[in-house]
Structure 1
């Protein structure tokens, strides 16, 4: 019996030590996992009495004619986009780091800009222009997720395209147009911005199909590029940034509507 006890006690001690060490390592792994999922550190957002962000530039908006919401203009764009995307898929000159400039003839695109991106752009709306577009000056839009941003190849701009539906695109794609502007929305708190970005993230994860004609602004069963930031701010920050959008009729919120709205502010632009 004594011999048995002498043999079993060391085994018990070893077992206790193993369990203890495993618990320590598991706790460390859990803490590391938490750390990797933490929200990135960003500048604190403050607003003045007029709703403008303190410490952010306020650039003048250009005067553009109202966008063309006719079915003809929207159909022209959608048909052209799908055709151009198919052509680009066959070209070895295009890769995941670039994007078609979505130019509609007769004006060819120049296709580059020097827009900068950082984690402090979290929740910002990016719009791009290039050449002639059937429905307005700005042809594409997306909502920036600063927590996903690492570099210009990061998939961090929530949007929607005819061939992919809801998706993330890279800053490099938005630099492949001849002009890019960044907008923030007045008087939206940091926590609201987090909710706005999270809402867009769920739409990308849901892989929602693209549709731009005959849709309601507050129906998110389908999506198009500018509807992503519009819907996110409408649902999570109670901001209607659609330039007096009509929500009870089929109505398209175009990229230019986001630009022209009184609650959006241009703070960066690049050519």
Structure 2
């Protein structure tokens, strides 16, 4: 295919896209334009020149991305994104049980998407940045919702508002060994029961004055005590049903702040 061509372009609604591996695209691997009511499940999109999966444009509504891996995309100087919901709008979009790792730019990128996206129980690691939460390409105020997500070993930022002034809600997320853990310098974010540790230069959380922060590890409580900081089990193969592998990585006892590193079915 020509280098500028997307490998797959979808413009249809009410699809289930399941069990595909796409690799080696000279551009984006899979782009869904203004798609509605589509389920992406059990995908492996990797080693593509630009992004893995991108949902984009106005009218992107009620789509679900489940139990999929997006990795080693965009190795070039410009970098690529593992999973993007960006450059558009539409309600009801959800990401759950996904992993994005080793991508040149962002693991999961919501940049320029002007409607809230829900991301839960997903892991983003060893990228340029972990979770990029809108803004950047738009001045819109967008209240994305993140719960039980984890960013580790990203060279830059674990959770980044990218200029989005919205009331992003972050509950029980964990940032570990990123350049900066939570970098929300513009957002009127609401942060509850999140954990951050071992960030570069001690920058676990850099927040805007308008942010509301309560019950997080940087709010005066004790430093988090994790069961293990060895990520090997979290980075292992998925279960036969495509859910995340079981792991004790970055788990804490009791009601301590931070993500529950549980497969999607167990976390309900």
TM-score (norm 1): 0.25
Question: Whose radius of gyration is greater, 1 or 2?
Answer: 1
Q: Which has the larger helix fraction?
A: 1
TM-score (norm 2): 0.25
Greater RCO, CA 8 A, separation 6+: 1
Q: Which has the larger strand fraction?
A: 2
